[in-house]
Structure 1
């Protein structure tokens, strides 16, 4: 066998392996995307087409009527105003909850790595323990605490819950990221007379964008998709969009309108889908950036 034939044979095997890998990846992607395809197709059909067709059949006459109804006219109990008001509730919830939990986690992570103090390891261990506490365990104590401070059944109370529960996660992210940064940066800032906050805001924070992106995406996804805290600590017009979605699906007046339910599902999921599509690669980079010395 000549050298050229050996090279061709190896090249053929390499291409076959690549084709096999890509086929496997395409199959896995199709499996994961299939439910989304079914939901989108159903939301674009009318009721007769849903009854007479199959789940994977293409819409014969696509319409956005179900989307419009889900947004502004779908009934939630006795109120028929759609998701738009509750979508706004989730936006009001997400901005301060994500911002505060990320900011506090960043300061905690910096203090626990480059500004050590007595008992810092114990504090970090306690915060790390908070990562593994199941949601269900804290429902009753948290409800009693919110009632004691006058924040029960309010949006500020729900914001406080998400901030408190998010701090252990964001602290862990930033602590692992800051461990990988050279300690000489902080030492040089101290020599120049910079204090804690000057060092943090002027030296550390500008080079922490990858970790900030990770923390923001993580918190955004968890808070936006949360149902348990929303349905436990709020009610009525104060509930977030995920609770309103559940109420739309469980509200039946006459004929069950599956296209409206599916449109409501897509509308509720759009923000998290968008943030992963637009910033997914930065999320992976941030995770890898903090995985060296954590």
Structure 2
């Protein structure tokens, strides 16, 4: 008994098996195009909503004192002027320099300590390591307001100078939980054979970390440095408690700029806000893609 086989019609497209391939009707392309258009319109609407405050900040920063009024917040300046930017820069430039002196060492030190903690807790474990890791993470959930009074007394007892030195210490200490978590999750994704090979070669814990682990930790360092830089730069609570207008960061100076005059100058305040946000914006523009890549590299295990 023979089985009849059907041959594909002449000119019909076939796949690798020789069987005819069913073509998608034009309606599928149309539906795909409509869905993509709706998605892009939704993203465009989201961008417009997010950029509305930026537009108000930008146009108001170029308005004169009489033109920068709430009733004209959406209007373009009647006369464009750079006086607001000059005034804001004169008032904020010393504080911006102090903020840089604070956030750079604070981010670097907390990143290094978090890397060491994460390596030990992930790859050089000891008895009770999980308990220690849990206790470290508790620091992420303690509200700053709840410990502000005892923290102030502790800083006074330690004799740390007020202003930038105190803020560096506080941001390093309070940055350890999140940096430890990020680095631990990243180091858990490293091949176990890599650490074992270093041990077989006679490398101890510090040598393994310095020669093997640290060179491949760049993605996590980028994530942690951006995170800590942003948190320390935007901090206002610690800055108000432990510094003054003469030795504090840019957030304190910006608050004094906005509230220091009897007649509110919205143009100067908006220009100052743009100046204060510019460093973090530059950091995200330059390192944004590395930030996302670093987060993904440590998201497999945890």
TM-score normalised by the chain length of structure 2: 0.89
In the other structure, the counterpart of 1:246 is: 255
Unaligned runs of 5+ in 1: 73-81
In the other structure, the counterpart of 1:63 is: 81
In the other structure, the counterpart of 1:112 is: 121
Relative to its length, the structure with more helix (as a share) is 1
- Counterpart of 2:246 in 1: which secondary structure? helix
Query: Is residue 41 from structure 1 mapped to residue 41 from structure 2 by the alignment?
Result: no
Q: Offset at 1:48?
A: 3.0
Which residues of 2 match residues 124-143 of structure 1 at below 5 A?
A: 124-143=133-152
Which residues of 2 match residues 265-284 of structure 1 at below 5 A?
A: 265-284=273-292
- Counterpart of 1:237 in 2: which secondary structure? coil
In the other structure, the counterpart of 2:301 is: 293
Query: Is residue 224 from structure 1 mapped to residue 233 from structure 2 by the alignment?
Result: yes
The CA RMSD measured in Å over matched residues stands at 1.8
In the other structure, the counterpart of 2:25 is: 7
- Counterpart of 1:181 in 2: which secondary structure? coil
Q: Offset at 1:143?
A: 0.6
Shift in CA distance, 118/261, structure 1 to aligned 2, threshold 3 Å: same
Residue range with higher mean Cα deviation, 229-238 or 217-226? 229-238
Residue range with higher mean Cα deviation, 105-114 or 195-204? 195-204
Shift in CA distance, 8/157, structure 1 to aligned 2, threshold 3 Å: same
Q: How many residues align?
A: 282
In the other structure, the counterpart of 2:112 is: 103
- Asked whether the equivalents of residues 61 and 84 of structure 2 are also in contact (C-alpha less than 8 Å), the reply is yes
Residue range with higher mean Cα deviation, 165-174 or 54-63? 54-63
TM-score normalised by the chain length of structure 1: 0.91
In the other structure, the counterpart of 1:32 is: 50
- Asked whether the equivalents of residues 68 and 265 of structure 2 are also in contact (C-alpha less than 8 Å), the reply is no
Q: Offset at 1:88?
A: 1.1
- Counterpart of 1:252 in 2: which secondary structure? coil
* Among candidates 164, 168, 172, match of residue 155 of structure 1: 164
Q: Offset at 1:53?
A: 6.9
Which residues of 2 match residues 66-81 of structure 1 at below 5 A?
A: 66-72=84-90
Unaligned runs of 5+ in 2: 1-20
